[in-house]
Structure 1
């Protein structure tokens, strides 16, 4: 494993650990909000809004976790750093910024169009 791959693996594992912690906190907070006794209408509306935010955050975080897990698999399989679309190099700067990146800059730009 080269140094970039080792750095990326370390960053991915740290981010995965952080995200799992955030998801646990979000779930605990949602459970706490559900367990309150007889909230008034204002409290109820505020709780519903907070729950929607927690769910959205959780979905985004879960998607990022999947991307991180996929990147860790690519590292183990020796495919890390190669674009999933064109097979070319993703680029060191991009991988340092986004270690879970699947595509090179060119393919990523095409995907957004």
Structure 2
């Protein structure tokens, strides 16, 4: 069964970001002495070390047909959220609840 257009678009965005992150980390490795978790600024952008893992996990969810389902409540992650943050694991409600729990 072919993916819906939104999932296809999110997959393309994730693949592009994955490529950019891998290239940035490859450029950073010699400067960081080979440290695999080092991703310093490259061309004015900073990529957190875990971002590549999140992108690859989202691509795996697409491959498994689980993309767009909240890992916390099992509900749908909003389409606009997925287009803005395609690697999102949780819906906004669960993300907000987790933020409140950790801040208070």
Does the TM-score normalized on the shorter chain lie above 0.5?
Answer: yes
Name the CA distance, whole Å, in 1 between partners of 2:39 and 2:90: 25
CA RMSD, 1 decimal: 1.9
Paired residue for 1:92? 79
Report what 1:2 is aligned to. Answer: 4
Q: Paired residues, what number?
A: 90
Deviations 1:27-86 (A, max 9, x none): 12234xxxxxxxxxxxxxxxxxxxxxx93648x533011111111111011110010011
Give the structure, 1 or 2, with the largest relative contact order (CA under 8 Å, sep 6 or more): 1
What runs of 5+ residues in structure 1 fail to find an aligned partner? 32-53
2:60 aligned partner: 73
Give the Å deviation of 1:111.
1.2
- Secondary structure of the structure 1 residue equivalent to 2:38: helix
Q: Which of 89, 99, 104 is the aligned partner of 1:112?
A: 99
Give the gaps of 5 or more residues in structure 2. Answer: 42-46
Preserved contact between residue 19 and residue 61 of structure 1 (Cα < 8 Å): no
Q: Which runs of 4+ in 1 moved over 6 A?
A: none
Q: Is the 8 A contact 1:74 1:80 kept in 2?
A: yes
For 1:48, the equivalent position in structure 2 comes to none
Q: Which has the higher helix share?
A: 1
Larger radius of gyration: 1
**Which residue of structure 2 aligns with residue 34 of structure 1?**
none
What's the TM-score once normalised by structure 2's chain length? Answer: 0.78
User: 2:74 & 2:68 partners in 1: Cα distance?
Assistant: 9
